[in-house]
Structure 1
């Protein structure tokens, strides 16, 4: 444990710590604990905001939504392709039907046709009938595929809407939680500004520096001979140094280097 004001330790320890002695009224030092508590709360709120379960929920749902949308686009493309395919097949059927109708009219009239022509015409009409039947089977097969694609589109459209609704709900819950957290952050920040303004500038500067270096904790209470920053108990030599330090001396934990704030519960 080091005191930054004790003359007996100043030469060796000041050289080692490379920091000038610092004094502050005991009340100002205790006020650092209030400031530290507010900073810890701000850190907790930042972590809470970042770690809201809705963040992961939304991320998972958005992945599902992207997958469903890709499948929907594929199904819509298939439905569109089969629609064009059906139109083309129906046109082929209609062309064969019209040609068969013309041949039948010629056959029925018989005008200017030789027996050989009549035989050929009858053969062509029979071939066209078979061709029409084959094409109509193709149309039916395409219609079945199109109906399946349409059903798939309807199903996936419903899934997309369902997942989107879940995302909207999770987003609303997330935004409400964030609004609550941000409101508390604003309140705590204002409280911190008031407390920080009451701390001497040099003490505040040291505290902020240490807080940055020591994972968010710049000042710790000495409680029952234990530093609450690193949770290590002071040995007898360190305790004697703290006991001998002036009340306004800003002392530091020998182990974690945080500002060590003395209180009636310090066990000195």
Structure 2
């Protein structure tokens, strides 16, 4: 294949733009903000799970407290009725009076025990409420950090997209000025060789594989016509000759 030396030189411009576009794409997919958002989102997910568990516990203890308070109220009402009976003088039998007094005493003990239960449940409920408040605050803080990280990421991605758009437009212009068959070869090699299809021959060294050409290879390059497409014997990339190639 033959191509004008100027067209071969433009391959280097095209290669530089393709390298830049590749770097931008790599940067886009490896932004530290990606990992930060992922980490913070995972933290937020864990906190949400903990918050749901704490809210469930608070709800359970609230029902438990209501039940315990109802039990206390029932015992209190019964003790009040018994006390009224005792105070009314309706019960006159010594045995019945003794039984009634014994029941009032038993109810008083029962009420005290139930009130202790209510206090214990209230303490657990207050602890659950404090846990809910703490987790809510922590979750809100992490969610704010997620939003901040997402905003930073969006801004960086916007800048990358803008730079990529500009580089892409420049590539279109350069590619349009290079013969189609040369572009086709370049693109084929670029796909096969890690994104680099053309390399500069600089001071007898291929900048694609970074290996210096031996004397035989240099003589072959020297003997090639200026419009002949030369390939590196080591990496098979298009080797572009320039005034500083060392020939």
Q: Is 1:128 aligned to residue 88 of structure 2? A: no
Q: Is 1:84 aligned to residue 80 of structure 2? A: no
Give unmatched runs, 5+ long, in structure 1.
Answer: 1-21
Aligned residues: 247
C-alpha distance in structure 1 between counterparts of 2:47 and 2:90, whole Å: 64
C-alpha distance in structure 1 between counterparts of 2:32 and 2:215, whole Å: 47
Offset at residue 48 of structure 1 (A)? 1.1
SS in 2 for 1:215: coil
Relative contact order, higher structure (CA 8 A, sep 6+): 1
**In the alignment, is the contact (CA less than 8 A) between 1:58 and 1:170 conserved in 2?**
yes
Indicate the residue corresponding to 1:11 in structure 2: none
What does 1:1-268 correspond to in 2, within 5 Å? 22-111=1-90, 113-268=92-247
**In the alignment, is the contact (CA less than 8 A) between 1:220 and 1:228 conserved in 2?**
yes
SS in 2 for 1:221: strand
Offset at residue 235 of structure 1 (A)? 0.5
SS in 2 for 1:231: coil
Offset at residue 109 of structure 1 (A)? 1.2
SS in 2 for 1:90: helix
Offset at residue 57 of structure 1 (A)? 1.1
C-alpha distance in structure 2 between counterparts of 1:239 and 1:105, whole Å: 120
TM-score (norm 2): 0.98
C-alpha distance in structure 2 between counterparts of 1:79 and 1:118, whole Å: 45
C-alpha distance in structure 1 between counterparts of 2:33 and 2:137, whole Å: 23
C-alpha distance in structure 2 between counterparts of 1:242 and 1:185, whole Å: 35
Q: Any idea what the Cα deviations from partners look like across 1:77-96, whole Å, max 9, x if unmatched?
A: 11000000000000000000
**In the alignment, is the contact (CA less than 8 A) between 1:110 and 1:118 conserved in 2?**
no
C-alpha distance in structure 2 between counterparts of 1:107 and 1:68, whole Å: 57
Q: Any idea what the Cα deviations from partners look like across 1:160-182, whole Å, max 9, x if unmatched?
A: 00011111111100100000000
The CA RMSD measured in Å over matched residues stands at: 0.8
**In the alignment, is the contact (CA less than 8 A) between 2:85 and 2:91 conserved in 1?**
no
**In the alignment, is the contact (CA less than 8 A) between 2:206 and 2:239 conserved in 1?**
yes
Q: 112-121 vs 166-175, which deviates more?
A: 112-121
